[in-house]
Structure 1
């Protein structure tokens, strides 16, 4: 099980980064003054949606997102490392941490209110391990289909975190519960194939295949394929952006336009003739209309305009990215140096495992610079045409990924996207994935709820979403600031 934050801090000091390893010539940032602590007693006042307008006085200061002029980009530090671990060793380490993380997430699921189990799962055949899709159904799914069997639900396709080599599709069940309650969408969580067994770009392509699978089987799943959103945590946030780019510029499909038409996928013939459905008990069986109708569900969306259609166009309406990794050209040492609280960053044990597993050196083709690996480096025209108009980004103040997230959010804003960026004060990376069963999940759910409510506005085509009605920066009236998970354990999500 990953160590506690105090243990990891010690580990971080023992396994310190060589700050001269990455030749990025970045001077250390100026020491910022500590923010005064603010305490809150009444959480009920902040659970109402009417209290979430941005305040006049922001608690968390923001630093400039402009890159320093004249500073060349470096290769990610592991690509220039002389000590390259073997793939066999990386696989052993990945399996070890996966087993511990599975145990940790078992305790994570004990925090009330308990998340729902997946209703069923589908498998997409591959040449190795199948891609698993876990389906969660909204509370009024059965009632809605009983009244209108042709109803189509919006859907959220989620990609889990874990540095591209750890984690599981069921890790984000608390997020799934809140999304189901506040959007009435079907929640689809993807078990993409992980590194080091499947390095870049396999996870990205698996996420693209998952999106196309949902679109291809939209009719039988009661999903409105023209009303989809992507979400992801950390590595999953990276995949939400990179899969959109991959879909548009590698697979040649416009998923941002109503008039788009889907190409034939590599699994079209196989999945159409033989889809595998697995129920909540894990038993595989042949999928058919009766089984799916008894399991799946929909709710209010724009699908009333498309009810009688069996082939709706694919359209990605929104992306929700939680503390995403966006730029592999920034070395880990530089990211830590520019972070606001280096002691809260993930230790080198995990970052080396992630880096060497996903983008193994030597990087002859320059994959670390690819927009499919580093979506923050995508060209302007790719961002304009390959990403949806509505995007949410949740960033953590004590995260080494904060600066690249702010830089990318600034680019999205300048390129005309309705970007809603939220800085969560005084929390580390993956603070919401603490395995502590006594953590304050209710406070975390407040932020999940804010995100889901904005997402619902997109699904419902409601006015007011975007910067003008943003819940962007958290502040002294937001209870999450002093309601962090008690004795939080930093997981490598």
Structure 2
């Protein structure tokens, strides 16, 4: 989610007690224009980062999923990229569904290219990255509904992709991690929200959650002050935009207890039914406290949970900038894939040789999606 270099980023100061988000009074057009500008900067950053040596692989193929749960207007299709390991496999593979971050206002499936690479390098598993629709055009709960639709469609097509529908891992980063947990909740009890699911629910083997947001009832100031370095938390300009775009119409903080929005508030009875969980949190993140509380609750219920805290790092530390991947990212991705291997009862091998055969792209600058191209314009 970070798109501003640290050298020019101003320290973040927690909001005062009487703070009112000024963007909640903005038009949806204004919010969308702001989001589009950040999306372009983020897309450019990931585009360059994924092409720096060693370059991340590109998807093997892609397909489109019909939206059946969401009532929002606009296109009803969700793009899903498929990343198939180049090695030969005997029998169906496990599936790892990866949900990108970006505060539900930016990001795309290929942002998780390096995570897909780590999974394919270490596990005999197929990775699916989901391009759920974004706010402000598609506010809460569209992203969750899109991801549930995608998960169900993926497992329905298990034979096509050579996967075992009973060995599915949900993973996500930031907003994507929240959505992964919320998607499990919806599939666990769709009747709570009056959903009729189009296909049978697969068995979810585990959840890999990188720095998730778990409780929207806590205001931003309290979240920042729970962090030992509030100056390194996400800027108010960005969190204001996320809050105004995703939760629309605006809901008072204390009423944001819908479990799809605040999955960390699930009861112990529901939590007791969760599959194994791997949490990766960041020391200088405003979401650290709620993440550690969630892990402690899992531990108290004797659930299988591993928690890692990346020392000296802030939210989305594995995203560009910098363009050169940090050693800690490789370490934490290896820890996460090791947890998956343990849940699946399979080897955690390193297969870099066959991965070199996967296609990568040459460097190119992506065109902003909000700039249309006329028929007579020619190449950009």
Separation in structure 1 between the aligned mates of residue 333 and residue 224 of structure 2, nearest angstrom: 27
Gaps of 5+ in 1: 23-76, 254-262, 269-311, 463-493
Separation in structure 2 between the aligned mates of residue 408 and residue 110 of structure 1, nearest angstrom: 36
Separation in structure 1 between the aligned mates of residue 135 and residue 211 of structure 2, nearest angstrom: 20
Question: Structure 1 pair 378/443, CA: closer, same or farther in 2 (3 Å)?
Answer: closer
Which residue, 264, 275, 299 being the options, matches 1:376?
Answer: 264
Q: Could you tell me which residue of structure 1 aligns to residue 82 of structure 2?
A: 135
Separation in structure 2 between the aligned mates of residue 252 and residue 401 of structure 1, nearest angstrom: 27
| TM-score between the two structures when normalised by the length of structure 1 | 0.65
Separation in structure 2 between the aligned mates of residue 364 and residue 9 of structure 1, nearest angstrom: 28
Asked if 1:449 corresponds to 2:334, the answer is yes
User: Secondary structure of 1:409's partner?
Assistant: helix
Asked if 1:429 corresponds to 2:376, the answer is no
Asked if 1:124 corresponds to 2:65, the answer is yes
Alignment size in residue pairs: 339
Asked if 1:111 corresponds to 2:111, the answer is no
Which residue, 410, 413, 427 being the options, matches 2:296?
Answer: 410
Separation in structure 2 between the aligned mates of residue 241 and residue 120 of structure 1, nearest angstrom: 26
Separation in structure 2 between the aligned mates of residue 401 and residue 264 of structure 1, nearest angstrom: 32
Gaps of 5+ in 2: 68-73, 348-380
Separation in structure 2 between the aligned mates of residue 161 and residue 206 of structure 1, nearest angstrom: 15
User: Secondary structure of 1:405's partner?
Assistant: helix
Q: Could you tell me which residue of structure 2 aligns to residue 321 of structure 1?
A: 209
Q: Could you tell me which residue of structure 2 aligns to residue 97 of structure 1?
A: 38
Which residue, 85, 94, 102 being the options, matches 1:154?
Answer: 94
Question: Structure 1 pair 131/367, CA: closer, same or farther in 2 (3 Å)?
Answer: farther
User: Secondary structure of 1:5's partner?
Assistant: coil
Separation in structure 2 between the aligned mates of residue 200 and residue 133 of structure 1, nearest angstrom: 20
Question: Structure 1 pair 214/91, CA: closer, same or farther in 2 (3 Å)?
Answer: same
RMSD: 2.4
Question: Structure 1 pair 350/313, CA: closer, same or farther in 2 (3 Å)?
Answer: closer
User: Secondary structure of 1:431's partner?
Assistant: coil
User: Secondary structure of 1:9's partner?
Assistant: coil
Separation in structure 2 between the aligned mates of residue 436 and residue 449 of structure 1, nearest angstrom: 20
Separation in structure 1 between the aligned mates of residue 219 and residue 189 of structure 2, nearest angstrom: 27
User: Secondary structure of 2:137's partner?
Assistant: coil
Question: Structure 1 pair 363/344, CA: closer, same or farther in 2 (3 Å)?
Answer: same
Q: Could you tell me which residue of structure 1 aligns to residue 365 of structure 2?
A: none
| TM-score between the two structures when normalised by the length of structure 2 | 0.83
Q: Could you tell me which residue of structure 1 aligns to residue 241 of structure 2?
A: 353
Conserved? CA contact 2:218–2:253, under 8 Å: no
Q: Could you tell me which residue of structure 2 aligns to residue 395 of structure 1?
A: 281
Q: Could you tell me which residue of structure 2 aligns to residue 194 of structure 1?
A: 134
Q: Could you tell me which residue of structure 2 aligns to residue 279 of structure 1?
A: none
Q: Could you tell me which residue of structure 2 aligns to residue 20 of structure 1?
A: 17
Separation in structure 1 between the aligned mates of residue 243 and residue 35 of structure 2, nearest angstrom: 12
1:186-235 deviations in Å (ceiling 9; x for gaps): 00010001111111111011111111011111112111000010000000
1:361-409 deviations in Å (ceiling 9; x for gaps): 4328976211111011111112122x21x11000000111110111111
Question: Structure 1 pair 350/264, CA: closer, same or farther in 2 (3 Å)?
Answer: closer
